[in-house]
Amino acid sequence: MSDTDGSRADEDTRLVLIRHGESNSAVERRIGGPRTCTGLSDLGRVQAERLRDRLAANRDLEPDLLIASHYPRAAETAQAIAPAMGGLDIVTDEGFGEHDPGPELDGTSYEEYVDRFGTPDWDGDPHAELFLGGETTAEFQLRVGSSITRLLRDHRGSTIVISCHGGVIDSAFRRFLNAPPTGSFVLHTLNASITEFRHPGAGNTSLIRYNDASHLAGLPTQTPRSEA
């Protein structure tokens, strides 16, 4: 994009993806689907507050739309940063929820899952059923990719902030890179970090930043994990 081409710059859509703060599910080492997620851990709340304070001080994000997935950990993160978002209402969008494990395995401990099914092959067949009654990787990728396409179509030229999940951010990269739904690369997206894409009205999407988490300096990387 040319900085001197004002008409084209006006069409750029800023898509800012924020991974939620650390969750209780992660601390408890449980599969935290939408039915059993209980929101942020104590550290996760501090992470979200740090992000809010940074955004309020820098004012580098003045969004037109603030979205959260329907998972409590994403909603709680959005609520924490909302005061720095110009008083926007939070729009809940299930399209940006994490990979849904289905009702049978939602809340299962990692240990129990591995005992029953073995370690999941995330780099394998995207159509394989890794969670009984849950989404396949292909279904998850399609849901997230379609949700991004819808936003870019309906809110062209806007700045959109989405409080979402590590898997959603992985899916966004795969969509913009036209990458396969599994394999090829591994992302380790930090809690309460910022990832930003800029999508022009026509042409290629630009990655502006990934894993921007300078506001977390001095905090523990995680809460000690449960042995369960």
Architecture of domain 9-215: 3-Layer(aba) Sandwich (3.40)
With pLDDT > 70 as the criterion, what percentage of the chain qualifies? 94
Q: Where does the pLDDT of residue 5 fall: very low under 50, low under 70, confident under 90, or very high at 90 and above?
A: very low
Res. 6 pLDDT band, cuts 50 70 90: very low
pLDDT digits (tens, 9 = 90+) for 34-48: 999 999 999 999 999
Quote the CA–CA distance of 80 and 148 in Å, as a whole number: 23
pLDDT digits (tens, 9 = 90+) for 92-132: 999 999 999 999 999 999 999 999 999 999 999 999 999 99
Alpha-helical (H) ranges within the chain are 6-9, 24-28, 42-58, 72-81, 110-117, 137-154, 166-177
Q: Answer yes or no: is pLDDT of 1 > 90.
A: no
Mean pLDDT of the chain: 94
Residue 227's pLDDT is what? 60
Q: What is the pTM of this model?
A: 0.94
Q: What is the 3-state secondary structure (H, E, C) of 90-114?
A: EEECHHHCCCCCCCCCCCCEHHHHH
- DSSP letter, residue 82: G
pLDDT tens digit string along 78-90?
A: 999 999 998 899 9
